[in-house]
Copies of this chain bind each other. A is one copy, B any other.
Amino acid sequence: MSTPASKLPPHPLRPLTEEELQRARDVVVKELGSDGVVLFFRSIYVDEPKRDDLVQFLIAEHAGQAPTTTPPRQVKVLFDLIKDGKPQLSEAVVDIGAGEVRNNKTFPAYCQTSYTATEFGQFYDICVASDMFKEALEEFSLPEGFSITIDPWPYGGLDPDEDIPRYMQGLVYARNAANNNPDSNHYGYPLPIIPVMDFVTKKLIRVDRLATGGTGDSLYPSPKADEPKKLFGHGKSAEYAPELLDQPLRADVKPIDITQPEGASFKVHSDNLVEWQKWRFRVGFTPREGAVLHDVCYDGRPVLYRLSFSEMTVPYGDPRPPFHRKQAFDFGDGGIGRAANNLKLGCDCLGAIHYMSSVVTDSEGKPETAQNVVCLHEQDNGIGWKHTNFRTNRAVVTRLREFVIQFVATLANYEYVFAYKLDTAGGISVETRATGIVSVVPIDEGKTSGYGNVVFPGVLAQNHQHIFAVRIDPSIDSYSNTDTAVVLEETHAIPMNPETNPFGNGYEVRRQKVESAMYADAEPKLNRVVKMENVNKQNPISGKNVGYKFAPNATQLMLADENSTQAARAPYAKHHLWVTGYRDEELWAAGEFTNQSRKEEGGVKAMVERGDWFVDEPSASSEKGQRSSPVVWNVFGLTHNPRVEDWPVMPVEIHQFHIRPADFFTSNPALDMPGRAGADVAPEELPKGAETTSKRHSATLSKLFSWKKESK
């Protein structure tokens, strides 16, 4: 018997409220603050309960019953405790109900947390006021009306002999301020200097000069000339804002309207529970990950406990120093949630859209709203399934519907569009799109370089890679720790032989259960597939374990030399697949502290070395490890050697992988999709000879029979 909703406690995964944020802050101030101490707040967000506790709640929730226990509502507060000008990074867990700090972690000095928007925003003013920077600028002569603009960046990986406090570097550009438009594109005018700031003392400590040669030239900058170097004299425009373009916009793009006149098929509850077409899940949002999917269930059956983007790194392949330090980790150095766009400002989403906002903190611990950072909508993606009986010419066809949870982050020059797409055939797709502006440096005019591509006079777009990690915590038809297993499956040729393969056409499928933490690479030539299965539930038709599967794409992974700092900071980026043992809070493929790291700590490599195992009797066990349930990480890369077409803003590069049911269901889960759930309405003008299908077809049997008669 279900418990009335009014008697059910609030859900532990419900979004943070302003009141909770303020309470958490106040508790931290009260318990950890003192006279002479300044608190600088970085993140305040919901502390997800331990999985064992949350699972008890979810099981009761799905049974429609009140849970026997509810995890306490806790909030994480990441902040600096600054005493005598020296910041101590701290992470407090606050029990909101009790109003008490439950735990306060501090970290070694070399662990550098991400930069907040506030911190990034401080760089410009300090830099341009600095005498050291002004002196560095004297090397150059800019055209009339050009003003300096600086993009603040994480410092990147430390050189072997560097042992430094918190640094920030800046990439310097000039903007044509004469056109009176603050969105004039400064990336067309890069300067060959990189100022470096000590972020604790807030002082510039040096200005690196950059090599600007081409093929055959030195890796190192030329000496300063006697006279100031004249820059940007070509007078060309690199604009992208439509009012600044030197060409007219296309006038013949007729609108496409996507509407849902009967409303949308999805429901979003106030605690961020979402229901759509047998899918049921919760949307979280964190400052580091952006949108996260929790407790993803289909038709009441659990599929994924948690799905999230975990990390991405963008190593640059230009060997000239200091470009080896162009290697941001956009999750760990900044935070994708912090960088998320307000999606109502542009046409990021089309159709009947639900926007989600998120409560975040400012640096004083006061609540702000990150507006419309996630958009939800459903869309059509072409034919879902079709069959025509050639004897009768009867076509039965339905569409593939998708539900999209999307967020977009801006990291200085680059944009990334992240989307989870659930579909009516029980599938989950994970998509990333890279767009925005490629990172550029100056190159002597007339030269070309193997380190990148000239995309504008005097401007080199450097070669680089983007390598992403997605974390998949499966709960296949069960929340139990011991039910879900990971299996690698491959399809192999068999040699022709009279006994088992007389005509040589046979092939075989081989399976290998993952018994303990490991890594592997994609191998599509062997059709290598990762299956997440419930070892205790079999499909009644096929007899096989119910499961979900995906094929990791064999993208190019990190090219940096094994001995380089770039590679040491991101071993995750060297393999497509990692399977590690579940531990609460272990969410970061490259470890918790990527900013200014020398090497990856606490990332997937360490998780594998720890050696957790997933079976009762592992063939080998590790002292540091334990029996655990598997967490799956998919890593994929995009090697980006820029084209001229990527300038000034690049058309999207799209990557997708698909997690699809594998004997989870007893037939095609989309079999009950109605055909023609949609109509084509006659536009006023169609091309000559075009037809319209203007009748709305309902999904009733009678309409189907009458349609069937039309087809004869």
Contact = CB atoms under 8 A, between A and B. Distances in A.
A425 B643 CA distance: 13
Interface residues on A, range: 35 or more
A641 interface: yes
Nearest to A666: B644
A317 B541 contact: no
Interface in A239-287: 240-243, 245, 247-270, 277
Nearest to A159: B503
B435 A387 contact: yes
A319 B501 contact: yes
Given A453-B544, A644-B663, A671 B380 contact: no
B256 A260 contact: yes
B324 A505 contact: yes
Question: Which among A324, A451, A502, A643 has the greatest number of chain B C-beta atoms within 10 A?
Answer: A643
B383 A435 contact: yes
Given A494-B561, A503-B319, A543 B448 contact: yes
A219 interface: yes
Nearest to A567: B504
20 contacts: A183-B392, A240-B387, A253-B277, A254-B263, A256-B258, A256-B401, A258-B258, A262-B684, A263-B684, A324-B503, A344-B693, A346-B675, A347-B677, A352-B686, A354-B687, A382-B652, A384-B435, A390-B412, A463-B507, A504-B561
Nearest to A670: B651
The 9 A-B pairs at the shortest CB distance, nearest first, are namely A504-B564, A319-B506, A263-B685, A504-B561, A324-B503, A425-B651, A346-B397, A496-B561, A354-B690
Question: Which among A495, A496, A541, A556 has the greatest number of chain B C-beta atoms within 10 A?
Answer: A556
A92 interface: no
Copies in the complex: 2
A554 B554 contact: yes
Interface in A680-702: 680-681, 683-693, 696, 699, 701
A51 interface: no
Interface in A329-380: 341-342, 344-348, 350-355, 372, 378-380
Given A242-B396, A668-B647, A683-B264, A257 B254 contact: no
Contacts of A110: none
Contacts of A508: 450
Interface stretch (A4-12, A29-37, A204-212, A521-529): A521-529
A619 interface: no
A590 B386 CA distance: 28
Given A347-B399, A559-B493, A256 B378 contact: yes
Contacts of A641: 491, 509
A484 interface: no
A680 B353 contact: yes
Contact of A564 (B503, B690, B699): B503
A662 interface: yes
Interface in A405-441: 408, 410, 412-413, 415, 417, 424-427, 433, 435-437
B639 A253 contact: no
A667 B454 CA distance: 11
B388 A680 contact: no
Nearest to A558: B493
Interface string A314-330: 01111101011001000
A253 B265 contact: yes
Contact of A345 (B393, B412, B455, B679): B393
A637 B424 CA distance: 25
A646 interface: yes
A672 interface: yes
Nearest to A528: B556
A545 to B, nearest CB: 12
Contacts of A635: none
A386 B348 contact: yes
